[in-house]
Amino acid sequence: MDNIIIEFKNVHYQYPDGTKALKGINIKIPKGKKIVFLGPNGCGKSTTFLQMNGVLRPTEGDIYYKGQLVSNKKKPKKDLWKEVGFVFQDPEIQLFSANVYEEISFGPKNLGLSHEEIRERVEEAMKDTNVTDLQQKPVHYLSGGEKKRVSIADILAMDTEVILFDEPTTSLDPKHIEALMKILEELHEGGKTLIISTHDVNLAYGWGDYFYIMKEGAVLLEGDHQEVFKQKELLQKAHLEIPWILEIYQYLLDNNKTKVLQPPRNKEELLSYL
Ligand X SMILES: Nc1ncnc2c1ncn2[C@@H]1O[C@H](COP(=O)(O)OP(=O)(O)OP(=O)(O)O)[C@@H](O)[C@H]1O
Contact 29, 7 (CB under 8 A): yes
Count the site residues for ligand X by CB under 6 A.
Answer: 13
Strands 60-65 and 34-38, sheet pairing: unpaired
Question: Is residue 160 close enough to count as binding ligand X by CB under 6 A?
Answer: no
Residue of the chain from 5, 29, 47, 205 that contacts ligand X (CB under 6 A): 47
Angle between helices 115-128 and 144-156 (to 10 degrees): 140
Residues 60-99 vs ligand X: string with x where CB under 6 A? -----------------------------x----------
The H-assigned helical ranges of the chain are 45-52, 91-94, 100-110, 115-128, 144-156, 174-189, 201-207, 225-228, 232-237, 244-254, 267-272
Residue of the chain from 2, 17, 79, 116 that contacts ligand X (CB under 6 A): 17
Span interacting with ligand X, options 34-42, 104-112, 220-228, 251-259, rule CB under 6 A: 34-42
Distance CA 53, CA 60 (A): 17
CB of 14 to ligand X, least distance (A): 9
Distance CA 265, CA 205 (A): 7
DSSP 244-260: HHHHHHHHHHHTTS---
Span interacting with ligand X, options 36-44, 97-105, 218-226, 248-256, rule CB under 6 A: 36-44
Span interacting with ligand X, options 35-43, 60-68, 124-132, 168-176, rule CB under 6 A: 35-43
Residue of the chain from 19, 26, 110, 266 that contacts ligand X (CB under 6 A): 19
Q: Which residues bind ligand X (CB under 6 A)?
A: 15, 17, 19, 21, 39, 41-47, 89
